[in-house]
C-alpha cells in the first residue's frame, strides 16, 4: 500500500499507511450482515496470506474454508456454543500441518515419530502468522471477524469433523463476514509496559497493570458488561489460573505433535 503524504510527513519517512490504519482500528466482530463473502474474495485473502513468513520455508500449515452450515454447527458446539461460528458467511480453520514435512523425511529415510517441541512450535507459529495475515487482508477490503481459540477445546473432535490426517490439528479458527455492528474498541495496555528498548524493563511491564485494570473496567461498564474492580487481573486469574485445557498436551500427542 502506498502511504499518502500529509502534514509533517514525506514519502521518505512515512509514519502511517492504509495497513497501519486497518490494524489500528481492528476490533473483534461477532455479528454479520447478510452480504455475501465471495469465493473470489476468499481466494484473494488466502493468496495474500500465503506470503506470510514461514520458518525455514517449511510452510507447515493448511487452511480449511468452511461454509457448510451443518459443519459450522458442529464446530460451534465444540467451541462452547459460539453462535457467530454458525452465522458468519465464511469460517477458516488454520491448521498446524506436519504431513508434508513427514513425507519429505520419509523420502530421505527418516520420520517424525520422535519429533520434539520445536516441530510443533514451528507449525503452530506458521499457522498463526498466516492467520493474522489473512485477517489483515480481509479487513483491508471491509471483511472482518473474530479469532476462535476454542478450536483447541477438543482437537481430536475438531480433526474428525474436518477430516484432518494424523500430524495435523487446528490451532485456531476465524469467523469472517461483513460487520453488522460497530462495537466499541477495547483498550490495550499502555505501550510503555509492552514495548521495551534494548532490554526488558520488568518495572515498566508491571507498572501498567493497575492503570489498565481501571481502564478496562471503565470500558466494560460503558458497554454494560459487569466486571471486577481489578478487571483484567481478575479475568485472567479466573480463566487461566486453574490450568486451562489441561488435556491439550495429551490430545495433541495423539494427533502426532509431541510437545515435550
Q: State the cell numbers at 164.
A: 484432518
pLDDT of residue 259: 83
pLDDT of residue 4: 54
Topology of domain 21-183, CATH: NADH Oxidase (3.40.109)
pLDDT of residue 114: 85
pLDDT of residue 119: 94
Please report, for the chain, the start and end positions of each structural domain, with discontinuous segments joined by +: 21-183, 186-255
Prediction pTM value: 0.93
Q: State the cell numbers at 83.
A: 453462535
Residues of the chain with pLDDT under 70: 1-10
Q: Collapse the DSSP code of 52 into the 3-class scheme (helix H, G, I; strand E, B; otherwise coil) and give the result.
A: coil
**Alpha-carbon separation of residue 234 from 60, 209, 213 (angstroms):** 36, 11, 9
Which residue shows C-alpha cell 463476514?
177
pLDDT of residue 9: 56
pLDDT of residue 5: 55
Instruction: Find out whether 51 and 133 touch, Cβ atoms under 8 Å.
Output: yes
- The pLDDT tens digits of the residues spanning 58-91 come to 999 999 999 999 999 999 999 999 999 999 999 9
Nearest in space to 181 (alpha carbons), one of 82, 38, 84, 72: 84
pLDDT of residue 260: 77
Cα–Cα distance for residue pair 72/153, rounded to 1 Å: 15
Amino acid at each position: 500500500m502506498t502511504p499518502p503524504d500529509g502534514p509533517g510527513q514525506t514519502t521518505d519517512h512515512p509514519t502511517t499507511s492504509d495497513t497501519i490504519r486497518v490494524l489500528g482500528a481492528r476490533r473483534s466482530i461477532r455479528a454479520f450482515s447478510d452480504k455475501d463473502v465471495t469465493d473470489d474474495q476468499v481466494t484473494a485473502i488466502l493468496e495474500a496470506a500465503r506470503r506470510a513468513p514461514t520458518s525455514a520455508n517449511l510452510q507447515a500449515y493448511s487452511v480449511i474454508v468452511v461454509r457448510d452450515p451443518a459443519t459450522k454447527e458442529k464446530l460451534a458446539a465444540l467451541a462452547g456454543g459460539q453462535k457467530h461460528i454458525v452465522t458468519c458467511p465464511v469460517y477458516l480453520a488454520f491448521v498446524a500441518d506436519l504431513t508434508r514435512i513427514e513425507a519429505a523425511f520419509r523420502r530421505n529415510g527418516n520420520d517424525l515419530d520422535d519429533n520434539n517441541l520445536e516441530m510443533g512450535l514451528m507449525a503452530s507459529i506458521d499457522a498463526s502468522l498466516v492467520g493474522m495475515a489473512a485477517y489483515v487482508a480481509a479487513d483491508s477490503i471491509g471483511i472482518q471477524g473474530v479469532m476462535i481459540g476454542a478450536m483447541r477445546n477438543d482437537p481430536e473432535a475438531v480433526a474428525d469433523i474436518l477430516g484432518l490426517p494424523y500430524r495435523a490439528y487446528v490451532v485456531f479458527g476465524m469467523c469472517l463476514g461483513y460487520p453488522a455492528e460497530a462495537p466499541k474498541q477495547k483498550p490495550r495496555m499502555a505501550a510503555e509496559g509492552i514495548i521495551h528498548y534494548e532490554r526488558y524493563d520488568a518495572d515498566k511491564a508491571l507498572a501498567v497493570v493497575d492503570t489498565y485494570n481501571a481502564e478496562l473496567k471503565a470500558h466494560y461498564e460503558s458497554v454494560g458488561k459487569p466486571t471486577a474492580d481489578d478487571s483484567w487481573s481478575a479475568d485472567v486469574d479466573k480463566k487461566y489460573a486453574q490450568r486451562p485445557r489441561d488435556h491439550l498436551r495429551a490430545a495433541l500427542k495423539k494427533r502426532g505433535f509431541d510437545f515435550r
